[in-house]
């Protein structure tokens, strides 16, 4: 009996040593990859810091992005934009018209479409709303567990279709000024949605209004006092809002006091850090403490993200049973192994070192693509 126990003990030690070597190698490789990515991000951050600040100053305090009284537009937008998991909204732009506009490509504003029958009168009331809460009572997200990768979002692209239809109507009817103003208001609400995707769609709506304004000038139509944003202004807004996603990155060193502060759409991207948190917090614990402070200091609503971040039941997080497979996506070394191995020394940190880079994004690509020094 004693000899059997010794054999079992020796085998257990050998297994632990073998697993320790595996996870040790994983941790070393993951740490090296993490440092390379982190250093690259920090170089970009330093390189584009002045350009980011300049774009922030340009848009800071602009009425398009400023808080406004008037309440939530979600009940109205639910009727016309809808959500991905629902049937098309009652007021959605007809599929045939959408297809025709898509076929026209970049020349859509120069073409003629049958848009007279589409009801866009609801857009005239958008200016009376203060913001768009995509998680409000009565929306599909109200009681949906937070999951950045899987949860159903509003059909933001419908905002582009409605804006283009209204702008086409404006070009045909001669009321291009109100059409531009209403499109601007729809863009403003998208930018207030606390979703990076919603923000990017809002910027695209502004670009559509600009294109229609150019066509109106060519046709001699008067847009009156409607505010028209230049492509240069729109590009600055787009690259700034996208770059703010860096503030929520596990690779970043940004803090709650970093200027400019993270936008609400960028803050929602914390869902990526939440997803890998069960393992990655053992690899970069200080970064998670920084993210705690960033979220706490944020003035954004983000009710579901805040609840999931504070939760201890794993809401929005990667299941431990899937962690090894997700971490070892490159070579299949451990994919399929029992999650019990995650109790071994170094295991959580080693797996976390691989996971931190899974959802990393090139946050400064728009500055790089624009040739900003």
pLDDT of residue 250: 96
Structure confidence at residue 357 as a pLDDT band (50, 70, 90): confident
What are the Cα distances from residue 272, in Å, to 55, 248, 279?
26, 9, 13
Query: Rounded to an integer, what distance in angstroms lies between the CA atom of residue 74 and that of residue 82?
Result: 10
pLDDT of residue 18: 45
Q: What is the chain's mean pLDDT, rounded? A: 89
pLDDT digits (tens, 9 = 90+) for 115-161: 999 999 999 999 999 999 999 999 999 988 898 878 889 999 999 99
pLDDT(36) > 60: yes
pLDDT of residue 143: 85
Structure confidence at residue 14 as a pLDDT band (50, 70, 90): very low
Per cent of the chain over pLDDT 90 is 73
Three-class DSSP labels, the chain: CHHHHHHHHHHHHHHHHHHHHHHHHHHHHHHHHHHHHHHHHHHHHHHCHHHHHHHHHHHCCCCCCCCCCCCECHHHHHHHCCECCCCCCCCCCCHHHHHHHHHHHHHHHHCCCCCCCCCCHHHHHHHHCCECCCCCCCCCCCCCCCCCCCCCCECCHHHHHHHHHHHHHHHHHCCHHHHHHHHHHHHHHHHCCCCHHHHHHHHHHHHHHHHHHHHHHHCCCCCCCCCCCCHHHHHHHHHHHHHHHHHHCCCCCCCCCCCCCCCHHHHHCHHHHHHCHHHHCCCCHHHHHHHHHHHHHCCCCCHHHHHHHHCCCCCCCCCHHHHHHHHCCCCCCCCCCCHHHHHCCCHHHHHHHHHCCCCCCCCCHHHHHCCCC
Structure confidence at residue 224 as a pLDDT band (50, 70, 90): very high
pLDDT of residue 22: 59
What count of Cα atoms within 13 Å lies in the side-chain half-sphere of residue 116? 5
pLDDT digits (tens, 9 = 90+) for 335-353: 656 566 677 667 888 888 8
Structure confidence at residue 305 as a pLDDT band (50, 70, 90): very high
Q: What is the CA radius of gyration of the chain?
A: 25
What count of Cα atoms within 13 Å lies in the side-chain half-sphere of residue 88? 9
pTM: predicted TM-score of the whole model, two decimal places: 0.90
- First vs last C-alpha separation in the chain: 74
Q: Tell which wins on pLDDT, 265 or 147.
A: 265
Segment of 161-165, 319-323, 342-346, 359-363 carrying the highest mean pLDDT: 161-165
The distance from CA 136 to its chain's CA centroid, rounded to whole angstroms, is: 18
Report the pLDDT averaged over residues 287-298.
96
């Amino acid at each position: 009996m004693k000899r059997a126990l010794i054999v079992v003990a020796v085998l257990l030690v050998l297994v632990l040593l073998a697993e320790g070597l595996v996870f040790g190698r994983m941790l070393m490789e993951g740490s090296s990859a993490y440092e390379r990515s982190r250093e690259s991000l920090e170089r970009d951050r330093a390189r584009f810091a002045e350009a980011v600040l300049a774009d922030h100053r340009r848009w800071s305090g602009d009425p398009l992005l400023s808080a406004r009284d008037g309440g939530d537009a979600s009940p109205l937008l639910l009727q016309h934009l809808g959500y991905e998991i629902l049937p098309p909204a009652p007021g959605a732009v007809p599929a045939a018209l959408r297809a025709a506009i898509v076929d026209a490509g970049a020349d859509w504003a120069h073409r003629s479409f049958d848009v007279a029958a589409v009801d866009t009168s609801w857009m005239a009331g958008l200016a009376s709303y203060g913001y768009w809460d995509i998680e409000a009572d009565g929306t599909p997200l109200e009681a949906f567990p937070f999951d950045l990768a899987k949860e159903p979002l509003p059909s933001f692209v419908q905002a582009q279709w409605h804006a283009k239809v209204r702008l086409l109507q404006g070009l045909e009817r001669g009321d291009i000024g109100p059409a531009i103003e209403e499109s601007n208001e729809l863009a403003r609400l998208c930018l207030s949605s606390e979703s990076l995707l919603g923000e990017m769609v809002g910027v695209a709506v502004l670009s559509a209004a600009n294109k229609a304004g150019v066509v109106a000038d060519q046709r001699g139509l008067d847009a009156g006092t409607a505010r028209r944003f230049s492509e240069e202004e729109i590009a600055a807004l787009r690259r700034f809002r996208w770059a703010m996603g860096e503030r929520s990155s596990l690779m970043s060193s940004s803090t709650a006091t970093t200027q400019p502060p993270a936008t609400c759409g960028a803050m929602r991207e914390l869902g990526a850090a939440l997803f890998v948190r069960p393992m990655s917090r053992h690899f970069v614990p200080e970064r998670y403490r920084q993210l705690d402070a960033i979220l706490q200091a944020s003035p954004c609503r983000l009710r579901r993200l805040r609840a999931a971040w504070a939760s201890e039941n794993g809401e929005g997080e990667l299941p431990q049973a899937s962690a090894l497979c997700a971490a070892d996506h490159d070579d299949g070394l451990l994919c399929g192994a029992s999650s019990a191995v995650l109790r071994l020394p170094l295991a959580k940190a080693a797996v976390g070192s691989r996971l931190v880079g899974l959802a990393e994004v090139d946050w400064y690509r728009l500055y790089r693509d624009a040739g900003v020094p």
